[in-house]
């Protein structure tokens, strides 16, 4: 399981988080999620698993600085979103959100993780490649806002060696976060 080092905290997304989540979403994607999308995911969609990443310097203060979400689709986990507030990027937090989803994937009877990413989104592709996702195909003109194709990336199998790899990555990530403070 993922150990979350203070002052960071990861928890399930709740309705009260949506305003902050939507602001990060607006700052992170060419086209923001449509109105009501996050509410629908966390209230109505039993197959959706959304998390928020908080920065909690003390008991009185906490700010949402990132979020992630995936759907359980039959025998696969499909990552639907991951974003870190622009002021907090480059610290290892996107990696923490992804690592968390990959650990959560082991709780389901699945052996495949899939996602779509824009060919122009090199940061996200590098993050996924670091976790051994591979490009397996394209969805032509998938993104309606820019007309861009989507790259389909997948990860499989979710076996014991990959879990050991995740544990090793977690160790490195925690060391990196400790240095950055
Ligand atoms: C993609 C995103 C979540 C990464 O979050 P982050 O906290 O900045 O990333 P991290 O600091 O955890 O970096 C983890 C890895 O991602 C890759 N990466 C992150 N930023 C990168 C950049 N600017 N250029 C190239 N690779 C980058 C690297 O592989 C990095 O590992 P390394 O530090 O060992 O090189 C963040 O850039 C973001 O929110 N982007 C907008 C939303 C988005 O595009 N989401 C993905 C949709 S498919």
Catalytic annotation, residues: 116, 128
Model confidence over 114-132: pLDDT tens digits? 999 999 999 999 999 999 9
Model confidence over 29-51: pLDDT tens digits? 999 999 999 999 999 999 999 99
Which domain covers residue 123, as residue numbers? 8-180
Does any domain span residue 1? no
Does any domain span residue 173? yes
Q: How confident is the model at residue 107 (pLDDT cuts 50, 70, 90)?
A: very high
Does any domain span residue 2? no
Closest C-alpha residue for ligand 1 atom 48: 117
Residues whose CB is less than 8 angstroms from the CB of residue 25 and which lie 6 or more positions away in sequence, other chains included: 32, 33, 38, 67, 81, 83
Cis, bond preceding 157 (omega within 30 deg of 0): yes
- Token pair recorded at residue 156: 């499989």
Q: Got the DSSP string for 94-107? A: HHHHHHHHHHHHTT
Output the pLDDT for position 178: 75
Does any domain span residue 120? yes
Does any domain span residue 83? yes
- Token pair recorded at residue 132: 């051994």
Closest C-alpha residue for ligand 1 atom 27: 123
Does any domain span residue 79? yes
Distances (CA, A) of 115 to 8, 67, 80, 82: 26, 16, 7, 11
Does any domain span residue 156? yes
Could you give the count of Cα atoms lying within 13 Å of 125 in the half-sphere of its Cβ? 12
Backbone dihedral region of 40: left (phi > 0), alpha (psi from -120 to 50 degrees) or beta?
alpha
Please give the tally of structural domains in the chain: 1
For residue 56, how far is its CA from the centre of ligand 1 (angstroms)?
22
Q: How confident is the model at residue 179 (pLDDT cuts 50, 70, 90)?
A: low
For residue 115, how far is its CA from the centre of ligand 1 (angstroms)?
15
Does any domain span residue 155? yes
Is the Cβ atom of 122 under 6 angstroms away from ligand 1? yes
Give buried/exposed letters for 53-71 (b at 16+ CB in 10 A, else e).
bbbeeeeeeeebbbbbbbb
* Unique residue bearing structure tokens 């086209």: 31
Q: How confident is the model at residue 3 (pLDDT cuts 50, 70, 90)?
A: confident
Model confidence over 8-29: pLDDT tens digits? 999 999 999 999 999 999 999 9
What CATH number does residue 121 fall under? Answer: 3.40.630.30
Closest C-alpha residue for ligand 1 atom 39: 83
């Amino acid at each position: 399981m993922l150990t979350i080092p203070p002052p960071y905290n990861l928890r399930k997304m709740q309705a009260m988080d949506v305003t902050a989540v939507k602001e990060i979403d607006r700052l992170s994607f060419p086209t923001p999620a449509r109105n009501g999308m996050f509410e629908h995911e966390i209230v109505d969609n039993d197959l959706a698993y959304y998390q928020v990443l908080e920065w909690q310097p003390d008991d009185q203060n906490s700010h949402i600085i990132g979020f992630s979400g995936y759907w359980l689709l039959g025998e696969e986990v499909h990552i639907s979103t991951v974003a870190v507030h622009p002021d907090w990027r480059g610290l290892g937090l996107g990696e923490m959100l992804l690592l968390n989803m990959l650990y959560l994937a082991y709780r389901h009877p699945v052996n495949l993780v899939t996602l779509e990413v824009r060919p122009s989104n090199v940061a996200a592709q590098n993050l996924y490649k670091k976790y051994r996702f591979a490009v397996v195909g394209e969805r032509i003109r998938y993104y309606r806002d820019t007309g861009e194709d989507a790259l389909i990336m997948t990860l499989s199998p979710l076996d014991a060696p990959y879990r050991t790899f995740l544990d090793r990555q977690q160790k490195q990530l925690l060391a990196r976060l400790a240095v950055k403070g």
